[in-house]
Amino acid sequence: MPLRGFVVALLAVLVLGGCGVRFAYSQLDWLVPWYLRDYVTFNAGQREVLDQRLTLRLDWHCRAHLPGYVGLLRDARRLLARERIEAQDLAPFLDQGEAWLDELRVELINDAKVLLAGLSDDQVAELAAAFERRDKEAREEFLGGSTEVRRKAQIARMEKRLRNWFGRLTDEQRALVAGWSRGLQPTTERWLDERRQWQQGVLDALQVRREPRLFAERIAALQAPAAGVPAEYREQAAYNRQLTLALLAGVFNTATARQRERLLAEVDGLAGQFDKLACAAPRMAEAR
């Protein structure tokens, strides 16, 4: 199982689902295995192990993180009630989200070790083929076509995300998105290379999965920041992060009264759903 894939699946269903958050969270016992089957076909015994681990992890997540989501969203609500905001006002929210992701990644280390250790040779080959297929698809999506084609696709993705919160964008806001896209430093190819190296690290670890101590060490090493990441790449990523925060602040500061009303309603609704989910944690634990 690709550990980052597990993390992405979990967070994507929780955070990106928007209006269907509560329903999606309650359905993760089948949504996450469905996602993982894009990489590996599990047998009945492995599926049972995955179900057990997922139940425990969801219970932990409900208790440890969901109440924090509610608090963070309510803090965001207070910030967004202002007339204007600055990019630095948004940075703490992104920092906290990244910290939660890191915590979740650590919690999943033991789950990954158990699930990966039980893969057969055929399943390892299936995983390697899935990595290769997904890498090819990602490179075609993000690096294919001319520079102008890729830029237009990037703009379209960002506009879609913003519409989920603000509704239809104004011409001024669309111009801000276009300017953001032009200003971004080129990091996509390096990001894909890093992802491919990480995937190769998973496959290398699987070669020693019958040796528990060595296997555990290699899996744990995959959680640490890559020591070989060039300083230039880190600087470019930091620049792009700040540029994106500036875009979000700019879109908010140019928002119409109707857009602000919608944004606050979305934040309130999401906080309410997470609040209900956090309260469901004991019942999820009893269901094991």
Q: What is the pLDDT of residue 39?
A: 84
Count CB-CB contacts under 10 A for residue 182.
10
* Whether the predicted pLDDT of 42 surpasses 70: yes
Q: What is the pLDDT of residue 177?
A: 96
* CB-based contact 156:77 (threshold 8 Å): no
Rounded to an integer, the average pLDDT of 124-153 is: 91
* Whether the predicted pLDDT of 86 surpasses 90: yes
* Whether the predicted pLDDT of 263 surpasses 60: yes
What percentage of the chain carries pLDDT values higher than 90? 39
* CB-based contact 252:89 (threshold 8 Å): no
Element (H, E) at 262: helix 257-279
d(CA 24, CA 166): 23
- Within 13 A of 71's CA, how many CA atoms are on the CB side? 8
Structural tokens at position 158: 């960002």
Structural tokens at position 159: 């506009």
Q: Identify residue 276 by its one-letter amino acid code.
A: K
Residues 6+ away with beta carbon under 8 Å from 82: none
CA angle 264, 160, 78 (to 5 degrees): 20
Structural tokens at position 227: 């020591």
Structural tokens at position 168: 């239809």
Among residues 99, 28, 95, 90, which one has the least CA distance to residue 57? 28
Among residues 244, 236, 94, which one has the least CA distance to residue 162? 244
d(CA 90, CA 80): 10
Q: Identify residue 286 by its one-letter amino acid code.
A: E
* Whether the predicted pLDDT of 52 surpasses 50: yes
Reported pTM: 0.79
Structural tokens at position 263: 């944004």
* CB-based contact 284:55 (threshold 8 Å): yes
Query: Which single residue is written with the structure tokens 């993705």?
Result: 157
Q: What is the pLDDT of residue 12?
A: 39
Q: What average pLDDT does the structure give for the chain?
A: 81
Count CB-CB contacts under 10 A for residue 53.
19
Give residue 124's Cα distance to chain centre: 24
* Whether the predicted pLDDT of 171 surpasses 90: yes
* Whether the predicted pLDDT of 68 surpasses 90: no
* Whether the predicted pLDDT of 17 surpasses 80: no
Q: Identify the top-confidence range among 33-42, 47-56, 236-245.
A: 236-245
d(CA 201, CA 204): 5
* Residue scoring higher pLDDT (15 or 257): 257
* Whether the predicted pLDDT of 19 surpasses 60: no
Among residues 251, 222, 160, which one has the least CA distance to residue 152? 160
> Per mean pLDDT, which range of 120-124, 135-139, 191-195, 206-210 is the poorest?
191-195
